Amino acid sequence: MMANGGDTRTQLGLRYLALGVVALVMLYPLLWLVGASFKSNGEIFTELGFWPDRLDFGAYAKGWKTSSEYTFATYFLNSFAIVVPRVIVTVISCVLVAYAFARFEFVGRKLLFSIMVATMMLPLIVLRLPQYLMFRELGWLDTYLPLILPSAFATDTFFVFMLVQFLRGIPRDMEEAAQIDGCNALQLLWYIIVPLLKPAIISVIVFQFIWTMNDFMGPLIYLASVENYPVSLALKMSIGATEEVEWANVIAISVVALVPSVAVFFMAQRYFIEGAASSGIKG
């Protein structure tokens, strides 16, 4: 309103033009990727346009089969076998811990909260090597435990922080009323807090889903046998296997690999972009 009060039509037009150009440049690579998945090897490297001449699903079929002994069905199932449990334990542990931080007074609360914020800035790469040694000692290598179990202890502190920030913005009236009616702390959590936290919880689910799908270094370090590979590692393998890569196949599989994340994003975007912004979390 006032912010663009002095605007002429030209200025408004320029603004849309700038945004449109940026959006095109940003999204064109993705459009091109989808288009290229239908093209032949030759066309991929000669055509600027993204629209394919014909719809050839051959690359999808071949890419899906892979040159390894497993198909991408295995790799997708593996990915989901990591993602689904991890998302579940993340939500449960982070909500409980955030509830404690936001609504309870206990010894060491301030200190623990500072530690939590500090670990958000701790470069994870410092922890990779000793964690690898720990998991090796426990006999967990080449299983999904190293990728899932730490999340059950609210170690993804971004999410705890985000939920605490969100909870701080929720007035306590309803909880106080429910307390007077005789609700205990767990009932309060389940009947009052969780419904109110829904948008924030959806953000946690979406972020954790997508980040875990994208995770590459974790599986790279902890998983050894191909039968356990998630999509990210399998995709890397399909490039590294031979010198003569069937690029069309790799492109087709890349498109498929992005589908779950894109789908989750669009299903939940109206909740989670807001959640992401209000908490100052980064993606």
Partner 1 sequence: MYENRRLGFFFVLPFVLGVVGFKLFPFVMSFALSFTQYDLMDPPEFIGLANYQELLTQDPLFRKSLGVTLLFAALAVPMRVGFALFIAHVLNFRLRGINFFRSAFYIPSILGGSIAIAVLWRFIFAKHGLVNLLLTKLGFEPIAWLADEHYSMWTIVLLFMWQFGSAMVIFLAALQSVPASLYEAAECDGASKWQQFLRITVPLITPVIFFNMIMQMVHAFQEFNGPYMITEGGPLYSTYVLALYIYDQSFRFFNLGYGAALSWVLFALVALLAGISFWSSKYWVFYSGEKERAT
Of residues 211 through 270, those in contact with partner 1 by CB under 8 A are 211, 213-214, 216-217, 220-221, 231-233, 235-236, 239, 247, 250-251, 253-255, 257-258, 261-262, 265, 269
Phi, psi dihedrals of residue 77, rounded to the nearest 5°: -60, -40
- Residue 67 in the binding site for partner 1 (CB under 8 A): no
Phi, psi dihedrals of residue 262, rounded to the nearest 5°: -65, -40
- Residue 68 in the binding site for partner 1 (CB under 8 A): no
Toward partner 1, which CB reaches closer, 23 or 61? 23
- The nearest distance, CB 194 to partner 1, in angstroms, is 14
Q: What is the 3-state secondary structure (H, E, C) of 147-200?
A: HHHHHHHCCCHHHHHHHHHHHHCCCCHHHHHHHHCCCCHHHHHHHHHHHHHHHH
Residues 5, 139, 171, 182: which binds partner 1 (CB under 8 A)?
5
- The nearest distance, CB 84 to partner 1, in angstroms, is 18
Neighbours of 59 (CB within 10 A): 24
**238 in helix, strand or coil?**
helix
Counting Cα atoms < 13 Å in the Cβ hemisphere of 1 gives 0
Q: Which span sits near partner 1 by CB under 8 A: 5-13, 55-63, 67-75, 79-87?
A: 5-13
- Residue 190 in the binding site for partner 1 (CB under 8 A): no
- Residue 104 in the binding site for partner 1 (CB under 8 A): yes
Q: What separation in angstroms does the CA of 137 have from each of 65, 126, 128, 222?
A: 36, 18, 14, 12
Q: How many chain residues interact with partner 1 (CB under 8 A)?
A: 102
- The nearest distance, CB 276 to partner 1, in angstroms, is 6
- Residue 30 in the binding site for partner 1 (CB under 8 A): yes
**Contact criterion met (CB below 8 Å) for 140 and 74:** no
Site string for partner 1, 145-174 (x = CB under 8 A): -----x-xxxx-x--x-------x------
- The nearest distance, CB 120 to partner 1, in angstroms, is 8
- Residue 280 in the binding site for partner 1 (CB under 8 A): yes
Q: Which span sits near partner 1 by CB under 8 A: 52-60, 61-69, 107-115, 191-199?
A: 107-115
- Residue from 37, 85, 41 nearest 61 by CA: 37
DSSP string, 240-257: HS-SS--HHHHHHHHHHH
Q: Which span sits near partner 1 by CB under 8 A: 53-61, 63-71, 117-125, 195-203?
A: 117-125
Residues 55, 121, 180, 224: which binds partner 1 (CB under 8 A)?
121
- The nearest distance, CB 68 to partner 1, in angstroms, is 16
Toward partner 1, which CB reaches closer, 48 or 55? 48
* Residue 85 identity (one-letter amino acid): P
**Contact criterion met (CB below 8 Å) for 113 and 157:** no
User: Which tokens is 1 given?
Assistant: 């309103």
- Residue 22 in the binding site for partner 1 (CB under 8 A): yes
**Contact criterion met (CB below 8 Å) for 195 and 178:** no
Site string for partner 1, 123-142 (x = CB under 8 A): xxxxxxxxxxxx--------
